[in-house]
Structure 1
Amino acid sequence: MAKFTFPMPDIGEGITEAEIVKWHKAVGDRVEEDEEFVDMMTDKATVPLESPVTGTIVEIAGGEGDMVAIGSALMVVEVEGEVPDDVAEEAAEAAPAPKSEEFEERIEVENPDASDQEDAAAAAPESAPAPAPTPAPAPAPAASSKVLATPAVRARAKDLGIDLGQVKPAEDGRVRHADLDAFISYSGGFSGASKAGADEEIKVIGLRKRIAENMSAAKRNIPHFTYVEECDVTELERTRAQLNENRGDRPKLTMLPLLITAICKVLPDFPMINARYDDEAKIVTRHGSVHLGMATMTDNGLMVPVIRDAQGKNLYQLAGDIQRLANAARDGTAKSEELSGSTLTVTSLGPLGGVATTPVINRPEVAIIGPNRIVERPMFVTGPDGVERVEKRKLMNISISCDHRVVDGYDAAAFVQEIKKMIEAPARILAG
């Protein structure tokens, strides 16, 4: 029998550590060669790792949510026979001896045996006072069991999810149906109230942890301001419907490809919006290409796949990229390069909509654009004959949040006004 230490591999350019998202195996489990045993997450993607050997897992580096340094021991496997030379050499190159020793030392500290504990106790100074025993917590009082009530009253209170200890009894100390009725009335008349669910603690790990960290950093470091403008999208929606009627086997167009095209046409006049800001170096990089981040909701949380060189793509190419990248983000197949490098982000809640939003900037970008729900409202419209009349129009608000260290309020407002002009005259979007 031999023990093989699997080091944490370098799974992303420039990273120094990765987070344990999910163990597929536990200590004592058998793992087969090339079998996935853990999911690790970097700042950019979740990567499943496979075992290079077959054997029984005897040690692991930590629990879900813990960070593991690149090169340090992630798992120790007991294998039958000898570890293949090529596997051992590859592991030795990836895991320098000091890191492996640190891991083993940490395991011993966390799991000391009885003899080690006895030695530690013997080595303790005689003058050191023995620690005072911790008193056991007093059991919580069972209020309901001390309340006087008939079985029928108790059964009714149980069905309603009412603690009898909270109900004021009659003068004789007994709770009756009338007292329950009074409690229900006082509490808001919940005669058909459902029972409260149990409290649940959920460890914040993986993508949800990354989202929390990134959003906190964005709000902590970036002085946000948000500007909202109302746009008449009646003609744009009519144009979109006409394009979809004649699309053939091309992807169906949503509002998003049209909006992205308008954004890309306007951005050259507002280079400070298609930019990234390095806080430490105090350098703003204005980008010539538009690598558009597309905020996408997945079962695991918010991800931002990137449409590369969006300015050079037509409506149907954009529609295809949107669908492909959204699906990849949701099913976990998005590549690392598809989840990084955005220069500007668009976020939309789709049919859930919202009249207006104040999106949080995807740091280190300096702006994020949020189209909102389309609503129909009557508006005064001046016709070709110069006569003003009331018409039902489709309206949509566009929100933009900007980093006030880089983007001035006037520039953000002017940028959105140019987008509004394109949206309300869709021929300008379609023009070459």
Structure 2
Amino acid sequence: MAKFVFNMPDIGEGIAEAEIVQWHKKVGDTVREDEEFVDMMTDKATVPMESPVDGKIIEIAGDEGDMVSIGSMLVVIEVEGEVPEDVAEEAPAPAPAPKAQEVEERIEVETSDASDADDALAADPEPEPLPAPTPAPEPRHQAKVLATPAVRKRAKELGVDLGQVKPAEDGRIRHGDLDQFLSYTSGYGAAAKTREDEEKKVIGMRRRIAENMAASKRNIPHFSYVEECDVTDLEVLRAQLNASRGDKSKLTILPLLITAICKTLPDFPMINARYDDEAGVVTRHGAVNMGMAAQTDAGLMVPVIRNAHAQNLWQLANEISRLADAARNGTAKKEEMEGGTLTVTSLGPLGGVATTPVINRPEVAIIGPNRIIERPMYVTGADGVERIEKRKLMNISISCDHRVVDGWDAASFIQALKKLLETPALILVD
């Protein structure tokens, strides 16, 4: 028997450590050559580790959520006979412990409270099943409770312990006493079951999101601005464009919004920018690499639409769908999850009245379209007469880095964007 020590390899991303996300094997399990035994997460991606030998795992570096330094022991495998020379030579030697330093989060994850890029992307992941409900406790002091069979039957149907109900002065519980008890508990309904407390370790993508959000709020002085837009004509245009496509894929509002944003940005270069606060350098980008929030089982992620400004509506629609699917099923490439210059985040039909999204550092702005609602409003017709009409309204939110973007610039940008959204024919004009 021989022992093979598998050290955490340098996977070429310039990182000092990686996080244990999920063990596929435990101590005592056998592992085959080229079989995946653990998933490790770096700042950029989750990387599966494969065993170079056959054998039995006799030691592991830690639990899920623990960090492992590059070059340090990840797993020890007991093999039959001697460790093959080619494998022994390839095994990375332990590296000296890295000096303490702050590792800046570069992962491109969603930076709003919760968001989805578009109605087309708003399919929520399956919720985790709730714990089995706790059986109702046996009625206390049931033998001492005085009540008619009708009251007892009603209490049983409602799940009420008559031992908790205050009786009348004669000690007997009547329907009125039961009604009074219910009015102080669940509003004339069965009492809600109490869920047991549960602890869940914050690891993997959830921890990356938490750390990135904390760094963004800690380092960036946010401010937000919200404006109301009348998107009635925009929705008419969208319906007309979809009708022209027949049975082909339909446009959602997101491609139209992104196109309008891209047409507005050239006059507001401070919005489409990234700020390196350590170097004190702001890069105002010419190309628009649009990040879009996508809800996944692992958390909110932001795949990036490259050169969004150079794509037409249908190309944008296809790219939105492709990237959202890739983010959700875990097939998104590293380069598809980084390099954004501006992010759009939306809760789709759950969008609410207004949002104050958190900036995706090192970007300097994030735009949040909210839910479209119908409301009556005053409209001046071509005849100059003001009348009340039912219109479709949507609020647009923007959060900006006040170190780079002034309030006047943010407000002016949103007003220019509003003009395009309310006169949608201009969106299609080159």
Q: TM-score range by the shorter chain?
A: 0.7 to 0.9
Residue of structure 2 in register with 1:423 after alignment: 421
Output the amino acid matched with 1:377: R
Name the CA shift for 1:85/1:353 in 2 (closer, same or farther; >3 Å).
same
Residue of structure 2 in register with 1:112 after alignment: none
CA drift of 1:258 comes to 0.8
Q: Please state whether the residue corresponding to 2:11 is helix, strand or coil.
A: coil
Check the 8 A contact 2:145/2:172 in 1, yes or no: no
CA drift of 1:81 comes to 2.5
Residue of structure 2 in register with 1:119 after alignment: none
More displaced stretch, 244-253 vs 316-325 = 244-253
CA drift of 1:28 comes to 0.6
CA drift of 1:195 comes to 2.3
Residue of structure 1 in register with 2:9 after alignment: 9
Residue of structure 1 in register with 2:26 after alignment: 26
Q: Please state whether the residue corresponding to 1:193 is helix, strand or coil.
A: coil
What are the superposed Cα offsets for residues 228-256 of structure 1, whole Å, 9 maximum, x if unpaired? 11111111111111111223686421111
Residue of structure 1 in register with 2:303 after alignment: 305
Q: Which runs of 5+ in 2 are unaligned?
A: 98-136, 147-151
Residue of structure 1 in register with 2:315 after alignment: 317
CA drift of 1:326 comes to 0.5
> How many residues are matched?
384
What are the superposed Cα offsets for residues 366-403 of structure 1, whole Å, 9 maximum, x if unpaired? 10000111111122222223232222211111100001
Residue of structure 2 in register with 1:292 after alignment: 290
Check the 8 A contact 2:61/2:73 in 1, yes or no: yes
CA drift of 1:96 comes to 2.9
- The correspondence for 1:378, drawn from 376, 379, 385, is 376
Which structure shows the bigger proportion of residues in helix conformation? Answer: 1
Check the 8 A contact 1:71/1:95 in 2, yes or no: yes
Name the CA shift for 1:202/1:194 in 2 (closer, same or farther; >3 Å).
same
Residue of structure 1 in register with 2:245 after alignment: 247
Identity of aligned residues (%): 72
Q: Please state whether the residue corresponding to 2:356 is helix, strand or coil.
A: coil
Q: Give the alignment's Cα RMSD to 1 decimal.
A: 3.0
Matches of residues 103-142 of structure 1 in structure 2 within 5 Å? none
Residue of structure 1 in register with 2:385 after alignment: 387
Q: Please state whether the residue corresponding to 2:89 is helix, strand or coil.
A: helix
4+ residue segments displaced more than 6 Å? 151-159, 161-164, 166-171, 174-182
Output the amino acid matched with 2:315: Q
Residue of structure 2 in register with 1:345 after alignment: 343
Matches of residues 357-368 of structure 1 in structure 2 within 5 Å? 357-368=355-366
Residue of structure 1 in register with 2:87 after alignment: 87
Residue of structure 2 in register with 1:150 after alignment: 143
- The correspondence for 1:262, drawn from 242, 260, 263, is 260
Output the amino acid matched with 2:282: V
Q: Please state whether the residue corresponding to 1:400 is helix, strand or coil.
A: strand
Residue of structure 2 in register with 1:228 after alignment: 226
Name the CA shift for 1:181/1:95 in 2 (closer, same or farther; >3 Å).
farther
Residue of structure 2 in register with 1:204 after alignment: 202
TM-score by length of 1: 0.81
Q: Please state whether the residue corresponding to 1:211 is helix, strand or coil.
A: helix
Output the amino acid matched with 1:407: V
Matches of residues 386-405 of structure 1 in structure 2 within 5 Å? 386-405=384-403
Residue of structure 2 in register with 1:70 after alignment: 70
Residue of structure 2 in register with 1:47 after alignment: 47
Check the 8 A contact 1:235/1:425 in 2, yes or no: yes
Q: Which runs of 5+ in 1 are unaligned?
A: 100-143
Give distance in 2, aligned partners of 1:186 and 1:249: 55
Give distance in 2, aligned partners of 1:47 and 1:329: 15
Give distance in 2, aligned partners of 1:161 and 1:6: 59
CA drift of 1:412 comes to 0.2
Output the amino acid matched with 1:425: T
Determine which structure has greater relative contact order: mean sequence separation of CA pairs < 8 Å that are 6+ residues apart, divided by chain length: 2
Q: Please state whether the residue corresponding to 1:88 is helix, strand or coil.
A: helix
Output the amino acid matched with 2:272: N
Check the 8 A contact 2:259/2:309 in 1, yes or no: yes
Check the 8 A contact 1:73/1:95 in 2, yes or no: no
TM-score by length of 2: 0.81
Check the 8 A contact 1:39/1:49 in 2, yes or no: yes
More displaced stretch, 276-285 vs 353-362 = 276-285
More displaced stretch, 238-247 vs 343-352 = 238-247
Name the CA shift for 1:284/1:88 in 2 (closer, same or farther; >3 Å).
same
Output the amino acid matched with 1:20: I
Name the CA shift for 1:97/1:382 in 2 (closer, same or farther; >3 Å).
closer
Give distance in 1, aligned partners of 2:159 and 2:418: 55
Q: Please state whether the residue corresponding to 2:81 is helix, strand or coil.
A: coil
- The correspondence for 1:414, drawn from 408, 412, 416, is 412
Output the amino acid matched with 1:318: L
What are the superposed Cα offsets for residues 320-355 of structure 1, whole Å, 9 maximum, x if unpaired? 111011001111111111111111100011122211
CA drift of 1:219 comes to 1.3
Name the CA shift for 1:184/1:377 in 2 (closer, same or farther; >3 Å).
closer
Give distance in 2, aligned partners of 1:327 and 1:175: 63
Output the amino acid matched with 1:269: D
